Amino acid sequence: MTIVAARPAAVRERARGMTLVELMVGMAVGLFVVLVAVSIFVSTRTLHSVGSASTRMSENARLAMDVLQTDLRNASFVGCRPLLNDAPTIVLLAGDGGFLSSPAGLRGSRGTGSGFSPALTGPLAGYPAASAPLATSDVISMRLPADMPGLGIVATMPTTVAAPQIAASNPANTLAAGDIVLVASCKASSMFQLTEADPVATGVLSHALGGAFSPGNATDDIQQRFRTDATVYKMETRHYYIAPSALRPGTNSLWRLVVPGSGAPEEVASGIDRLLITYGVDGAAAAGQQNVDRYVAADGVTDWDRVISVRLQMLVATAKDGVARSSQSVTFAGSAVAFSDRRLRSVLTEVVTLRNGAP
């Protein structure tokens, strides 16, 4: 006969397991912890997405503004002699092939929403609709030195119709036939178009009449006999405008067209929705006082030589849609602008002084 000893009550209680109430409480606590973790993850991911989009928007805006500011500071360059003291002698033919041959070296057009005032001319007027400058933004053009070091004149010109001479086969020389150059000293400056077939090999800066060049030279007399204290600069005109982005469809970008150049525009910075430009004009009766009396749009400038500063207002947006929780309305240029997308937007304003117009 086998005798089984009775188990203590505490042992029987532990073997009984969890009750239904305890199980439900445990599941509820676990579910709450999971929901909190998921909520934190979603919030963190949203904040990261918004922060990343905002950072990229700020970087694009900074790039666009820096490029415009740098070029504006170099606009109307005529060498070491101030523009107001003595404008350069420009022997280029009149015409609009995209290169600014006016002494001011600055021009703009106001976007009216349906067109431009003054109307666009030259290469900017011939773009197809898909890549044309948007009429909701302004256009600005400026003449400045190209990204090439200045080259020194190596011999005094015997006459004003002679070709200036620079060192042959100079590694810094990237000049080519058809380029427009400025020869400048601290006494005078002249601008003309090269007609030399290979100015790199010869170092000769011929400026003959005729030939298949645009705009071409109106005369072969540059009206100055430059000496060895003069420097040669390659010049170009850069046109800036807003157009649909080729890299991020559905957004807009800042574009640049360089003349003379390849003829193909380049996308500078994406996420630039609009660009508003006003010009600080010296309206005093006596020229050269260098006081901004008022800011006007491009079609309000009657004398570009009197423009002292440029005010840039830029509306920038994130590249991705759905970043904001709802559609945004932004105050730009003194009025509210509503957008149906959910991109974040910001407004930047900068004022740039045209230092080459100073006395």
* 8 A C-beta contact, residue 131 and residue 244: yes
Q: Which helix (H) or strand (E) holds 52?
A: helix 20-74
Tens digits of pLDDT across the chain (359 residues): 555 555 565 555 555 667 777 778 778 888 888 887 777 766 666 665 666 667 788 888 899 999 999 999 999 888 876 555 567 889 998 877 789 988 889 999 999 999 999 999 888 887 777 778 999 999 999 999 998 888 999 999 999 999 999 998 888 899 999 999 999 998 889 999 999 999 999 999 999 987 788 889 999 999 999 999 999 999 999 999 999 998 888 889 999 999 988 888 999 999 999 999 999 998 765 555 678 889 999 999 999 988 999 999 999 988 777 667 677 788 888 888 888 787 888 899 999 998 886 66
At 321 the pLDDT is: 72
Tokens of 92: 């280029």
Total domains, the chain: 1
Residue 282, pLDDT score: 86
**Beta strands 231-244 and 151-152, pairing class:** antiparallel
CA distances from 214 to 97, 229, 240 (A): 7, 29, 21
Query: CB under 8 Å, gap of 24 or more: what pairs does 155-159 form?
Result: 155/228, 156/225, 156/226, 156/227, 156/228, 157/224, 157/225, 157/226, 157/227, 158/225, 159/225
Does residue 140 form part of some domain?
Answer: yes
pLDDT (tens digit, 9 = 90+) per residue, 35-85?
Answer: 877 777 666 666 656 666 677 888 888 999 999 999 999 998 888 765 555
Q: For residue 31, what pLDDT is reported? A: 83
Give the domain range for residue 333.
52-357
The reported pLDDT for the residue numbered 355 is 84
Q: Which amino acid is at 141?
A: S
In this predicted structure, what is the pLDDT of residue 14? 57
CA atoms within 13 A on the CB side of 320: 12
Predicted TM-score (pTM) of the model is 0.84
DSSP, res 299: G
Query: Per residue, what are the HEC states of 11-51?
Result: HHHHHCCCCHHHHHHHHHHHHHHHHHHHHHHHHHHHHHHHH
4 domain residue, yes or no: no
Within a domain: residue 293?
A: yes
pLDDT at 267: 94
- Tell me what pLDDT residue 296 has: 95
- Please check whether residue 240 lies inside any domain of the structure: yes
Q: CA angle, 152 as apex, 150 and 153 as ends, to 5°?
A: 140
In a domain, 185, yes or no: yes
CA 79 to chain centre: 24
| Domain membership flag for residue 83 | yes
Does 43 reside within a domain? no
Distances (CA, A) of 213 to 148, 194, 207, 355: 21, 9, 11, 31
Task: For residue 147, tell me if it sits in a domain.
Answer: yes
